[in-house]
Chains A and B, each alone.
Chain A
Amino acid sequence: MHRTRKLRVLGAVAVLALVAAACSSNNSNNSNNSSSSKKTVKLAFFGALTGSAAGLVVPGWKAVQLAVANANAGKYGNLPVTIQAVPEDTQGSPTVIPPLATKVANDPAYVGVIGPNFSGESAAGGSTFDKAGIPFVTGSATNPTLNASGWTHWFRAQANDNTQAPDMANYIAKVLKPNCTFVLSDDTTYGKGLAQIGQSTLQSDGVKVVSDLGAVPNGGTGQTKDFSPYITKAKQSGCKAMFYGGYSPEAGPLRAQMNQQGLTTMTMVVGDGARDDTFLTSAGAAGNGSVASCPCGDITQSSDPAAKTFVSEFTAKYGASSPIAPYGADYWDIAMMYINAFKAGKTTRADITSYFAGLNYQGISKHIQFQSNGELNADDAKIYMWKDDNQQWSYLGLSTDVIPS
C-alpha cells in the first residue's frame, strides 16, 4: 500500500513538472523583443506544414519566411513595423483549423493571415477570420464556392477551379481525345468540386464520361492505401483517360497501383493539388506521362528581374533541390502585398483590408488586382500545364497555348 501511494505521488509530481516545463516554454516564446523600438506585427501562415500534403504547402511558407526576413533586414526600404511570420500547422484539415483560427483572430498582434492553403480548411476557418476583421489572402485554395460566403476580408490571389477544371477537361477532350474519360475524385471540397466542374465541361465537349465522385475517402491525408476497388472500376470503364480531383498523397499511389493492376494505357490528368514532388516520388515510373494543371507557372523561366532575384535568393537560402513550385512564387507575392501595405503605413487589420481591396500590383507570379468579391481579376487568372517526365515536372506552357480552341 505504501509503495503504491509513493508511486502515485511520484507520478503526480512528474506530471506537474512536465506541465510546468511546457507552460514555461510557451511563456518564453511569447516574450517580445522589447529591445526593438518598432512595433511587431504578426502574420499567420495557415497550411499543411507537416503531413503527407506538406509538399504542396512548404514552398509557399519558405517563400514567406524569405520575404519577411528580407523586409526586416531593410531590403525593401524602411518599414514602420517589424514583421513576425508565425506558422500555424493545420495539416490541411478542416477539423484542425477552427481552434487555431480562433486563437489568431482573437490576438490583436496578428494583423493578417496568409492562407489557408487548402479549400476545405478555408471553408472551415474563413468565417472566424472574417468576423474578426482580419484580412486573409490565399494563393492556393481554388474551390470556387469560397467566394459565395460573402466574406469581406478574404482575397484569392490566384485563379480558381472555374478556370482550372475546364482547362483540365478541355486538355483531355482536345489534346488526348480519348474514347471516354473516367472521372474520379476524393471526398474533399477541392477534389470533388474540381471533378464536378470537370465532368460537366467534358460532357459539354461531347466526351463520354464514367464518373465516381467522392469515392476516395480522406483526401489529402494519405490514409487510404488500397486503391484496388477504384482501379477495378476504372478498368471496367475501358476509358483511356482519367480526370482525378484530389491531392498528391492519393494521386501518386493511385497512379502506381494502376500500373500494377495492368491499367497502363489510361492517362491521368490531375489538378494543382497533385502537382508536387510527393506525386512524383509516390507514382514513381508509373507517373510518366501524367499531366497536371496548375495556376502556378514556371517562375524559373520568367524574364522579370524581380522573379530572377527571388529565384536566386530562394535557392541560395534553401538549396537548389528545394522546390519552389507549386506555390513559392505566389506566396512570395502575397508576403510582398503585406510588406507593401506596411510600407504605405497600413498596419491595422482594417487599413490592410482596404489597401488590398484597391490594390493594383505587378507581382512575380502574376498581376494582382481584386474584384469586389475578393476574387482575382479574370484577366489575371491563368492556368499552366505541366507533365510528369521521368519523375520531373516538365513545363508545357500556358493552358491557352497548350490546348487548341
Chain B
Amino acid sequence: MATTERVATGPRSPFNGRSLAWVCGLAAVAILLTLGIRDGTCPSSGSIWLSYFIYGLRSGAIYAMVALGYTMVYGVLQLLNFAHSEVFMIGTFAAVYTLKGLFGVQPNHPPTGLTLVFVLLVTMIFAAAASGTTAVVMERLAYRPLRRRGASRLAYLITAIGVSLVLSNLLLLLDGGPHLGLPWNWPAVGGPGAVNYPPTISQAKWFSIGGVPISPVTVLVMAVAVVMLIVLDQFVRRTRTGQGIRAVAEDPETASLMGVNVDRTVVSTFLVGGLMAGVAAALFGITFGAAQYSIGFYPGLKAFTAAVLGGIGNVRGAMLGGLLLGLIEQFGIACTAAQWQNVIAFVVLVAVLMFRPTGILGEQVGG
C-alpha cells in the first residue's frame, strides 16, 4: 500500500489562491462599474439595470430549456447533437400551425380568458410532441446505425451537422414551388420568409416592477420555464428512467449489466430533450411572433454555449448556464456598445473554461 507524504502546511489561511482570485476579480468589476456609472458610460438608473436583468432572465429561460437537449445527449452518448437547433425549429413551426390551423386564431381576434389558457397549453403540448418526435426519429435513423457499427466520434459529429442541414433546408424547400426537378409543388408551410404567429397572449404591459413594464408573455415564459426545469430536474433525479439516464451517462456497459436497457434510455434522452426544446420553441415563437427555417441557428448556438458554460453533460449545469448566458448577454453590453454582445459572451465562456474546463458545475449528468 503506498503511503502518501503529507507536506506540512501552515494554519489554513482564508486567503488561499482561488478565493483570492475571486475577491480580486469581483473588486475589479465593482471598481470599474462605479467609475463607469460616475462618468455616464454605464447606466445609473436602477430601472435600466433591472430591464437588463429581466430580459436576461427571459432569454436565459429559453436557452436553459434548449440547452438541456444538448447536455443530456452529450452526457449519454458523448455526442454534440448539432441538429438539436432544428428540433427547436420544428417546434416553432408546430406551434404556429397549431395556432393557425387547429385553432384558427385570426390576427385581429386573439383568444382570451380560459380559451387562451387552453390554446396555449395545447400549443405547447403539440410543439413538444413535434420536437420530441423529431428528436426520436433523428436518433433512430441517423445515430443508432452509427452506434451499431461502433462509429468514431467524428462520424457522429458530421452526421449531426448533416441532419441539421437536411432539416433546415427541408423547411426552406417547403415554399409551395417545385424543386429538385420533381413534378409537383412542395407544400407551402415553410420557405425562406418568416411564418408569422397570430397574436395570442398580450404583449402589452400588465404591471411594472421598478419601472420595467412586464407583459403577460414575459410572465408566461418565466413561469413555464420554471415549471419545466423543476419537472426535468425531478425526473432526472427521482424516476427510474432518470436514474437509467444517469447510469448510462456514467458507464453504459455497467448500466446494461445492471439491467438498464441502453437503447431505450438513449431514446428517452432524445425524447426528453426534444420535449423541452419544443416547449421552449412554442414560447419563443409566441414571444417573438415568427417561425422560420433558420430560426434554430442562433438559439441553438447560444444554448449549446450555455450547456458548455454550465458543464456539458450536467443537467443543472445546463439550466444555470442558460440563465447565466442570458444575463451575460444583457449585462455585458450595459457599459459597452451593443455590437460587442457576442464577443463579450464568448470571452466569458473562454475565461470560465480556462479556469474550470468542465464548466461551472462540472460534467456529471446528475449534477
Which A residues contact B (CB, under 8 angstroms)?
18, 21-26, 50-52, 54, 91, 187, 212-217, 221-226, 228-230, 232-233, 235-236, 249, 253, 256, 260-262, 281-282
B181 with A26: CB separation less than 8 A: yes
30 pairs across A/B with beta carbons < 8 Å?
A: A21-B180, A23-B181, A25-B181, A51-B192, A52-B192, A214-B339, A215-B337, A215-B338, A215-B341, A216-B338, A217-B342, A222-B193, A222-B290, A223-B292, A223-B298, A226-B59, A228-B51, A228-B59, A229-B333, A229-B341, A232-B55, A233-B333, A233-B338, A236-B43, A256-B289, A260-B203, A260-B213, A261-B213, A262-B213, A282-B289
Q: Does B330 sit at the interface, judged by CB under 8 A?
A: yes
A18 with B213: CB separation less than 8 A: no
Shortest beta-carbon distance from B58 to chain A in Å: 7
Q: Does B294 sit at the interface, judged by CB under 8 A?
A: yes
A236 with B338: CB separation less than 8 A: no
Query: Contacts A54-B193, A91-B192, A221-B294 given; 13 further ones with Cβ under 8 A?
Result: A50-B192, A52-B292, A215-B338, A216-B338, A222-B193, A223-B292, A225-B284, A228-B55, A228-B330, A229-B55, A233-B333, A236-B48, A262-B205
CA separation between A262 and B209, bound complex, in Å?
12
Number of cross-chain contacts by CB at 8 Å = 101
Given contacts A24-B181, A215-B339, A228-B58, contact A50 B191 (CB under 8 A): yes
Q: Does B19 sit at the interface, judged by CB under 8 A?
A: no
A229 with B339: CB separation less than 8 A: no
Q: Mark B170-214, 1 if CB is under 8 A from A, else 0.
A: 000001000011100000000111101000000111000000110
A232 with B48: CB separation less than 8 A: yes
B residues in contact with A235, CB < 8 Å: 48, 51
B51 with A232: CB separation less than 8 A: yes
CA separation between A54 and B192, bound complex, in Å?
10
B residues in contact with A225, CB < 8 Å: 284, 288, 290, 295
Q: Which of B181, B288, B289 contacts A22 (CB 8 A)?
A: B181
Q: Does B139 sit at the interface, judged by CB under 8 A?
A: no
B residues in contact with A229, CB < 8 Å: 52, 55, 329-330, 333, 338, 341
A21 with B45: CB separation less than 8 A: no
Residue of A whose beta carbon sits closest to that of B199: A284
Shortest beta-carbon distance from A122 to chain B in Å: 20
CA separation between A217 and B338, bound complex, in Å?
10
B residues in contact with A230, CB < 8 Å: 338
Q: Mark B28-68, 1 if CB is under 8 A from A, else 0.
A: 00000000000000010100100110010011000000000
B residues in contact with A282, CB < 8 Å: 196, 289
A52 with B194: CB separation less than 8 A: yes
Shortest beta-carbon distance from B274 to chain A in Å: 21
Shortest beta-carbon distance from A21 to chain B in Å: 4
A212 with B181: CB separation less than 8 A: no
Q: Does B215 sit at the interface, judged by CB under 8 A?
A: yes
Q: Which of A214, A226, A261 has the most CB of B within 10 A?
A: A226
B residues in contact with A213, CB < 8 Å: 337, 339
CA separation between A249 and B215, bound complex, in Å?
23
A residues in contact with B295, CB < 8 Å: 223, 225
CA separation between A54 and B194, bound complex, in Å?
11
B residues in contact with A228, CB < 8 Å: 51, 55, 58-59, 330
Q: Does B297 sit at the interface, judged by CB under 8 A?
A: yes
Shortest beta-carbon distance from A282 to chain B in Å: 8
Q: Mark B285-324, 1 if CB is under 8 A from A, else 0.
A: 0001110101101100000000000000000000000000
CA separation between A232 and B192, bound complex, in Å?
30
B193 with A50: CB separation less than 8 A: yes
A residues in contact with B45, CB < 8 Å: 236
B204 with A260: CB separation less than 8 A: yes
CA separation between A213 and B181, bound complex, in Å?
44
Given contacts A21-B181, A232-B55, contact A226 B213 (CB under 8 A): no
CA separation between A168 and B59, bound complex, in Å?
33
Shortest beta-carbon distance from A3 to chain B in Å: 14
B residues in contact with A25, CB < 8 Å: 181
A18 with B180: CB separation less than 8 A: yes
A260 with B215: CB separation less than 8 A: yes
Given contacts A51-B193, A228-B55, contact A187 B339 (CB under 8 A): yes
CA separation between A21 and B212, bound complex, in Å?
58
A21 with B339: CB separation less than 8 A: no
A232 with B180: CB separation less than 8 A: no
Shortest beta-carbon distance from B213 to chain A in Å: 4
**Interface set, chain B 144-191, CB cutoff 8 A to A:** 175, 180-182, 191
Given contacts A212-B337, A232-B51, A253-B288, contact A52 B330 (CB under 8 A): no
B residues in contact with A262, CB < 8 Å: 205, 212-213
A226 with B339: CB separation less than 8 A: no
CA separation between A355 and B175, bound complex, in Å?
40
B338 with A212: CB separation less than 8 A: yes
CA separation between A256 and B287, bound complex, in Å?
12
B204 with A21: CB separation less than 8 A: no
CA separation between A187 and B339, bound complex, in Å?
9
Residue of B whose beta carbon sits closest to that of A185: B339
A residues in contact with B175, CB < 8 Å: 50
Shortest beta-carbon distance from B10 to chain A in Å: 48
B residues in contact with A50, CB < 8 Å: 175, 191-193
Shortest beta-carbon distance from A250 to chain B in Å: 12
A residues in contact with B43, CB < 8 Å: 236
B residues in contact with A52, CB < 8 Å: 192-194, 292
CA separation between A223 and B293, bound complex, in Å?
10
A residues in contact with B203, CB < 8 Å: 256, 260
Shortest beta-carbon distance from B46 to chain A in Å: 12
Residue of A whose beta carbon sits closest to that of B54: A228
CA separation between A225 and B281, bound complex, in Å?
13
Shortest beta-carbon distance from B187 to chain A in Å: 16
B residues in contact with A232, CB < 8 Å: 48, 51-52, 55, 330
